[in-house]
Chain A
Amino acid sequence: MSTATPNAPQDTTAALPADLQDERLIAQQGVRGWAGAFLSRLKSGDLGSLPVVIGLVIIWGVFQALNDSFLSSRNLVNLTLQSAAVGTIAIGIVLVLLLGEIDLSVGSVSGLSSAILAVGMVNQGWPSVVAIVVAIVAGMVIGLAYGALFTRFGVPSFVITLAGLLAVLGLQLYVLGKEGTINIPFDSGLVKFAQQTFLPLAVSYVVALLAVALYVLTRLRVNSQRAAAGLSTTPNVMIGLRALVLAVVLLVPTYVLNRDRGVSVMFLLFVALVVVMDFAIRRTGWGRSVMAVGGNVEAARRAGINVKGIYLSVFALCSTFAAIGGLLAAGRLAAANQSSGGGDTNLNAIAAAVIGGTSLFGGRGSAYSALLGIIVIQSISSGLSLLNLDSSIRYMVTGGVLLLAVTVDSLSRRSRAAHGRA
C-alpha cells in the first residue's frame, strides 16, 4: 500500500512552524506579507469593520467641513454621552444577530427599565441599588420569556419580540401610572454618574496606556505559547505596529475629550461592556457555541451543544443589556417618561449593530460593531442638529445609512461566497 511513502519534501520544511508547512499556503510573513494578506482579504469581500471606519471618516469630514464646531471637544464629549445608552442596547442586538435572530422590543424593555427605576426610587422610596437590580432583573425575565417561547414553541423571534414591543410598552405605561413623567433627583448617584462623572485627567491617560500595555502583554504571551507549541508567531514588529495604532486610537481621543469635560465614566462603562462581550464571544466556550448556532444550528446540535440553552442565554442577555441601556438613558435624562425607550431607540440600536458590521444572516460579527455603529449614528444625529436640520432629515439620513450598511453586508456576503470565505 502507499501509506508510508516517506514525505521527502516535508523534510525541507521541517524548520517551518506546523501551520505554515503546506506548500500551497502563500507564505505571509513580515509586514509586507501581512499587508498583502490584508488586501487580498478585502478584495474577496471579507471587509470586517473597514466600511464603517471609512464611513465614519467621511461623515466626520463632511460635518466638520459644514460646521467647524462638529469635531470640537465639547461636541465630542456630548457624542460619547449620547452614545452610551443606545450603544449598550446595541451590544445585546449584536448577540441576537449572531444567532441569526432579532429582538425588536429592546426599546420598550429599556423604557420599562427606566420606568421601574424612577417609580422605585422616587415613588416607592427604594434605595437606588434595589431599584437598579429590580429593573435589570425585569429585563432578564422578559428575555428569558422570549427564549422560552422561541425554544418551546418555535415561534419566530421576529413575531415574539414584535408582540413584546407592544406588551412591554403597555407594561411601561402601566408602571409609570397617571403621572407619565417622573423626575429623578439630580443629586442621586445614577444621575451624577450619567451626567457629571468624568475620569480625572491623569487617570484617563493611565487607563488608555494600561489598555495598550495589556494588549502588548497578551500578544507576547500568545506568541510565546505558540512558539512553545511549534506554531507560527506574529513578528514583534507587527505587534509593535499594532500597539502603536491602538495607542494613537486611544490617546488622541482621550486628549481631545480631556480638553473639555473629559472621558465620561458612563461611556467607559459602555466600552468596558463591549470589551467584555468581545472576549466572551471570541474566547469562551459559550461564545463559540453562539457562533456555531448562528452558523449551522443542526451541526451545533449534533456537536452536543445545548442549543436551547444558548438561545435562552442570548435572549436573556439581550434584554438585560436593553435594561442596562434604559438605566443609563434614565440617568442621563434624569427622568423617566412615557416616551423613554420609544421613538427611534429601537431602530437606532438595531441599526448600530448592523452598521457596525454584524451580519443579519447570523454567525458573523463582533461586539465592537455596537461601538462603531452607535458612533456613526450619533455622529449623523449630532451633525445634523448642529446644522439646525430637524429630525425629519435625520431620520431620512439614518435610514439611508442603514440601507447602505445592509447592502454592503449582502454584497460582501455574496463576494465572500464567490471567493470561498462565506
Chain B
Amino acid sequence: MTATAAPATTAVLSLKGVSKRFGAVQALKDIDFDVNAGEVVALVGDNGAGKSTLVKTIAGVYTPDEGTMTFDGRTTSVSTPAEAQRLGIATVFQDLALCDNLDVVGNLFLGRELYRGRALDEVRMEQESWRLLRQLSAKIPSVRIPVASLSGGQRQTVAIARSLLGDPKVVMLDEPTAALGVAQTAEVLNLVERLRDNGHGVILISHNMSDVMAVADRVHVLRLGRNNGTFHVSQTSTQEIIAAITGATTNAVSERASRRVQKEEQS
C-alpha cells in the first residue's frame, strides 16, 4: 500500500458537532467527520446508524440542526444539492440516475451540455468524455452506445465519471459495489483508488467490509447516530471495526465469543 498523500492534513471537508433531528428521532448527534484531499474515508455503520442522513446532509439534501461544516478552509452551509455541487461536492447515489435511452456522452453531460452557438457541441463533448474516461482508465467500448447496453460496473463508471465533470474536491459514493459482480466490484474499487490518486477526497459508504478494507485509508464508524470511532485501516482489523459497528460489548457476536471463552475455560 502506498502511504496516503503525506500528512498535509488540512481537511477538504470537515464537519464539527453536526446534529440532525427528525421529530422525536435524533438521527445524528454531535458528529465530527473529516476528509482530506487524496484520501478514501469509508463511512460504515449498521442500518439506521445515520449514514444516509450524514451523506444527505453533506450533499445538501438536509440542512443540519446544529454544527458547522468547513469546506476547503471556509465555513459554509449548503442548503440545496445544486449548491453542494457548485461548491465541489459530488454525490453518486445508489440508484445511478442514468437515462437508459441516451448514449454515454448524453448522460455524462446531461444538464451541463457544451454548446457551439445555439446547438450542442457533440464533437467537443465526445472528446471530453474520452478524456474523462481515460483519466479513470475506464473500460467503455464506445461512448455512442445507449447506457442501457452497458454492464453494471460500466454504468457505475459512467455515473462516477459524470460526478467528476465539475472537477469536485470531494466525491461521495453511496454503496457503489452493492449490485456488482466480483470483477465489476474490482473495477469500481480500482476507480476509487484512481480518484484518490487524482487528489480527490473520497467518501465511500459501504456495508462490505472487504471492500472497505481493500481501498479505504480510514474507516469512520457511526452507531445509533453518534461517532463510534475512526480507524486507520493499516492499524486495525475487520473484527475491530465490526465490533465498533455493532457496539463492542452488547451484541450477539461478542456474547457468543465470550460464551465460547467461558466454555473453553470450564472444560
**Residues on A close to B: CB < 8 A?**
1-3, 7, 18-19, 22, 24-25, 222, 225-226, 229-231, 279, 283-285, 288-289, 291-292, 294-296, 298-300, 302-305, 363-364, 416-417, 419-422
Contacts and interface: CB of A to CB of B under 8 A. Distances in A.
B139 interface: yes
A19 B120 contact: no
Nearest to B128: A229
B123 A231 contact: yes
B193 A22 contact: no
Nearest to B144: A19
A299 B97 contact: yes
Contacts of A422: 100-101, 146, 148-149
A100 to B, nearest CB: 10
A286 B146 CA distance: 19
Given A22-B142, A302-B81, 20 more contacts: A19-B126, A19-B143, A22-B141, A25-B141, A229-B124, A283-B120, A288-B113, A289-B111, A291-B101, A292-B99, A295-B100, A295-B101, A299-B97, A299-B110, A303-B97, A363-B99, A363-B100, A420-B148, A421-B145, A421-B146
B102 A292 contact: yes
A230 B127 contact: yes
Contacts of A279: 119
A25 B36 CA distance: 38
The 3 closest A-B pairs by CB, nearest first: A303-B111, A420-B149, A295-B99
A32 to B, nearest CB: 19
Nearest to A296: B99
A18 B99 contact: no
A137 B41 CA distance: 57
A296 B112 CA distance: 17
Nearest to B162: A303
B263 interface: no
Contacts of B50: none
Given A3-B193, A284-B118, A295 B102 contact: yes
Contacts of B110: 288, 292, 299-300, 303, 305
A289 B93 CA distance: 21
Contacts of B127: 18, 229-231
B141 to A, nearest CB: 5
A300 B139 CA distance: 25
Given A22-B141, A25-B142, A231-B126, A298 B101 contact: no
Given A22-B139, A25-B141, A304-B111, A296 B97 contact: yes
Contact of B1 (A1, A230, A298, A305): A1
B248 to A, nearest CB: 32
Given A292-B102, A421-B148, A19 B142 contact: yes
A298 B99 CA distance: 9
Nearest to B109: A288
B242 interface: no
A369 to B, nearest CB: 15
Given A292-B106, A305-B110, A421-B146, A285 B82 contact: no
Contacts of A291: 99, 101-102, 106
B123 A299 contact: no
Interface string B89-121: 000010101111110001000111101001110
A15 to B, nearest CB: 15
28 contacts: A3-B193, A3-B197, A18-B127, A19-B126, A19-B142, A19-B143, A22-B139, A22-B140, A25-B141, A229-B126, A229-B127, A285-B120, A288-B113, A292-B110, A294-B101, A295-B101, A299-B97, A299-B98, A302-B93, A303-B112, A304-B111, A305-B110, A364-B101, A419-B149, A422-B100, A422-B101, A422-B148, A422-B149
